[in-house]
Amino acid sequence: MKVRVFVSIAVLSIFAACRAEVKLPSIFSDNMVFQQGMKLPVWGTAAPGEKVKVSFNGQEAEATADATGKWMVELSPVNAGGPFEMTVSASNTVTVRNILAGEVWLCSGQSNMERSFNHDIQDKEKHLANANHPKIRLFHVPRKWSSVPLNDVDASWKECTKETVESFSVVGYFFGLELYNELKVPIGLINASWGGTRIEPWTPEIGFKGIPALQTIWEQVQYKTPTTAMHKQKANVMYEQYRKWLEDTRKRMDTDEPLDAPPPYPAELVPFSSQGHPTTLYNGMLNPLVPFAIRGAIWYQGEANIRDGVLYYDKLKALLGGWRAVWKNPELPFYLVQLAPYGRYSSDSLLPKLWQAQAKFVENTPHTGMAVINDVGNVNDIHPANKYDVGKRLALQALNKTYGMKELTADSPTLKSMEKNGRKLLLTFDTKALKTRDNKAPDWFEICGPSGVFVKADALITNNTVTLVAEGIEEPLAVRFAWSGMAEPNLTGETGLPVGAFIAGDYPDGDRLLKNVLEKDKYKLVYAFNPVNPQMTNGYKDMKYSTDDSVKFAGRKIKRIAYFMELEKKDGDPQYVFVSMAPFTQDIGKIGVPTYGTQTNFQQKVNDLRVVSNVPSVRNGTFDEGNIEFWPNNYAPPNAANVPGASDKTFDFGDRVNSPVLGYGSMQVHNYKEKQTIFAFNSFKSGRNADAGIGNQPGGNPDWTHSKSASKYVDGKLLVLIQTDEQ
C-alpha cells in the first residue's frame, strides 16, 4: 500500500509540474517579428495563480495566471531592429531567439491569396532565385476550421529563403518584398488563407452584429455558439422539453400507455460542420493570433461570394469591422484586391456588381484601399499567373496611405465628373492624364439613352477627359465601363494603373425592366428581396426584406396589388414578369411572402389579372381572373381547391394545404384558365435551393415545387407593389 501511495504521489507531482510549465502560443517562436512602434501584447498559459515574468530588450513585465491558467502582459513599443531575445519565466523558462522588430502584416483570403510558387506563377524561377531575404519572416497558418474559437495554431516563423517561400502566399511575398525594399526595415508576413472559401467564415461573430442585411447570419452564429445568451436560452427550452418528455415517458411506461416521440432537436443548435460556415475560419486560423500586434491586413477574396453582388459590401464591412474590434484598432489599415476579369462570369452584372461592392466599400471606409488588376489576368484562368503586379499594387496602397509616401501613386483613376454635350458625354477623371496600354482608342465604354439599353461607344482621350459618342444614342443619359466579366480594358492613368469598372448617370439600376412594363408612378414599392438567395430570420419564421416600407402604408386602402419578378442567368437577358390584380386583402402585412410569422394563408381566386412578361411561354394580357396559393405550410398535389383544369397528381394550381404550418411554403400566382403559372417562389427557408420560376417549369411540376431552381440563377429580385387610395 505504501508503495502504491508513493507512486501515486510521484505521478501527481510530475503531472502538476507539467501543468505548471509556462507556454507560449506558436505566434511567439524563434525568427518572429514584433510590430515596431506599437504596444506589444504577449500571452500564454501557466499554472493557475502562477507568476510569469517576460523580459525583452531591457523591459520586464509581470502577470499572474488566472483561474484558467491564462496570462498576458503588454510590452512598450520598440523601434525597428534586432535580432533580440525574449525570455518568459515561471517554474520554467522559455526563450524566443532571433526576434526582429519591423512591420507585420496579415495576408488573408481564398485561393488567389493562398497561391504559392508551387503553382504556375509568372517568372517563377527568376523570383525564386532572388528570394533569400533573412529580414523578411514568414508565418504560414495551416488550414483549420473550428466551430469554437481556438487558442493556438501549428506553425512557426521562418526566415525567407527560396525553400521557405516556395509554399508561401506569392501575393503576400511580393507585397512584403516591396515594403522591405522601400522601408528598409524587417517585414513579418502572416499568411492565413484557404482556397475556395467565402468571406463569412473569416469574419468574427462581432462583425455581423448591427449590420441589418446580415442579421440572419448574426442570429445563426448566436444560436450555434455555446457561450451566447441566445444559445443558452434555446438550450434551456430544449432541456425542459426533454425533461418533461422523460417524466411523461416514465409515467406511460408504468401504465403501459403508448409513448410519444421525443421532441426534435432544435436545428438552430446544431454546430457548424465545415469551413464554409460563418466564423469557422476566424475561430480556427485567426483567433489564435489575436491580439498579436500587426500594422494592417491585405485581402484577396470574392470569387466564392460572386453571387452576392452588392451584398458583398455589407460582408466586407462585417469582416473589417470584426477584425478591427478583436484587434482593438478602429483604424486598422485594410487593402483589398478587386477581382480580375474571368470569362465564366461573363454575365452583364455578375462580376460588375461585386466590383461595385468592393469599390463602394473602399470609398466609404477610412484607412482602406483597392488594387485594380483588370490588366494582369487571363479571362480563361481564375488564378492570374502575374502575382507580382498584384502584390506591388497592394504595397503601393500601404506605402502611400499607411506610410505616408504620397509621391507614390496608389489609386487607379476614378470618374470625377460627367457632362452632357448634345450627343456626347464628357467624362473627367481624377488624374493628370489618361492613356491606353496599346496606344489605341479606349475600349469597353457603353452609353445608353432613355431606353436604358447600353450601346458600344467610341471614345477619345484629351488629357484627363474621355469624350464618348454612340451610334443611335441622341440623348445620352448614362455610361458604364468594363461592365463584363470578359472586360480587359486598355484605359490607364499616367502611371499605368488601370481604370476600374464603373457605372454612372441617370441609369435606373435594377428597375430598368420594371420601367418597361408599367408606369412607375402608378405603384408604390412595399417589399423587395432577392428570391435567388432568400434570407429568413427569427427561426425561419420571417422573411428578411432588403426593403420593407409596409409601415408607410398601414391603414391605407389598397386599390391594386402587383408583383414583379426578375431572374437572371449567367448568359442571356434577364427574364421578368409583372402581374397585377384586384386586392385579395387589405392587410398590408399579408401581401408579401406568406411566412409563419405573418400567418398568411390564401388559396383563392383573384380578379382582373394583368400580365406583362418577356418569357415566351407566358401569355401577356388582361384576364378576368386567376388564382393565388400563398401559405407557409407543406402541401400535396391533390386538387383540394377544385380549381378547374388542375391536376390531382402534379403540383400545380389547386394543391392541398398540409401541416406543419412552418413548412415548405408557397407563393404562387396562376392564370389557371390557361393552365399556367405566372410566377412561383417556394421553399423560402432553403436559400439558394429555393424554388423560383416564371411561367410553367419545363418538364417538371408547373409550379416549380421541388425544382431547387434558384441555384440556376446568378441574380434576381421580387418586388411587391400597391396602388392606394392616396395615389
The type of residue at 96 is V
Q: Which of helix, strand or coil describes residue 122?
A: coil
Alpha helices (runs of H) in 388-497, residue ranges in sequence order: 388-401
Q: What is the DSSP letter of 23?
A: B
Least confident of 94-98, 223-227, 662-666, 702-706: 223-227
Cell numbers describing residue 183:
522601408
Q: Is 555 exposed, middle or buried (CB count within 10 Å of its CB: 0-12, 13-18, 19+)?
A: exposed
CA atoms within 13 A on the CB side of 421: 10
C-alpha cell at 305: 461570394
Rounded-to-integer distance, Cα 426 and Cα 422, Å: 10
CA distances 424 to 427, 442, 460, 469, 585, Å, are 10, 15, 11, 5, 50
Provide the CA 419 distance to its chain's centre, in angstroms: 35
First-to-final CA distance of the chain: 95
pTM for this one? 0.75
Nearest to 658 by CA among 642, 644, 640: 640
Q: Please state the φ and ψ torsions of residue 354, each to the nearest 5 degrees.
A: -70, -40
| Dihedral sign for Cα atoms in the order 224, 226, 230, 233 | positive
- The one-letter amino acid code at 329 reads N
Look-up: residue for cell 390564401?
Answer: 602
Q: Answer with the residue of higher pLDDT: 493 or 537.
A: 493
Q: What is the pLDDT of residues 3-32, one digit of tens each?
A: 333 333 333 333 343 456 999 999 999 999
pLDDT at 309: 85
Give the pLDDT of residue 283.
Answer: 97
β-sheet bridge partners, residue 530: none
Specify the DSSP class assigned to residue 70.
Answer: E
Task: Give the residues across from 718 on adjacent strands.
Answer: 529, 565
| Ranges 231-245, 340-354, 582-596, 679-693: which has the least confidence | 340-354
What is the average pLDDT across 92-117? 98
What's residue 3's pLDDT? 35
pLDDT tens-place string over residues 427-441 = 999 999 999 999 999
pLDDT higher than threshold 80 for residue 119: yes
- Are 278 and 318 in contact, with CB atoms under 8 Å apart? no
pLDDT bin (cut points 50, 70, 90) of residue 571 is: low
Q: Distance between CA 664 and CA 686 in Å, rounded?
A: 9
How do the domains of the chain map onto residue ranges? 103-411, 415-505, 513-724
Looking at the predicted structure, is the pLDDT value of residue 507 above 90? no
CATH number of the domain at 103-411, please?
3.40.50.1110
Q: Which of 703, 701, 664, 669 is nearest to 686 (CA)?
A: 664
Tell me whether domains 103-411 and 415-505 share a fold.
no
Whether residue 613 has pLDDT greater than 70: yes
Grid cell for residue 13: 507531482
CB 523 within 8 A of CB 562: yes
- CATH number for domain 415-505, candidates 1.50.40, 3.30.70, 2.30.29, 2.60.40: 2.60.40
What does the pLDDT look like over 152-200, one tens digit per residue? Answer: 999 999 999 999 999 999 999 999 999 999 999 999 999 999 999 999 9
Within 10 Å of residue 423's Cβ, how many Cβ atoms?
Answer: 16
CB 266 within 8 A of CB 234: yes
Mean pLDDT of 520-533: 85
Taking all residues of the chain, what is their mean pLDDT, rounded to a whole number?
92
8-state DSSP, 594: -
pLDDT surpasses 70 at 344: yes
Each residue's pLDDT tens digit, 445-491: 999 887 667 899 999 999 999 999 999 899 999 999 999 999 999 99
pLDDT band at 614 (very low <50, low <70, confident <90, very high): confident
Residue type, 224: K
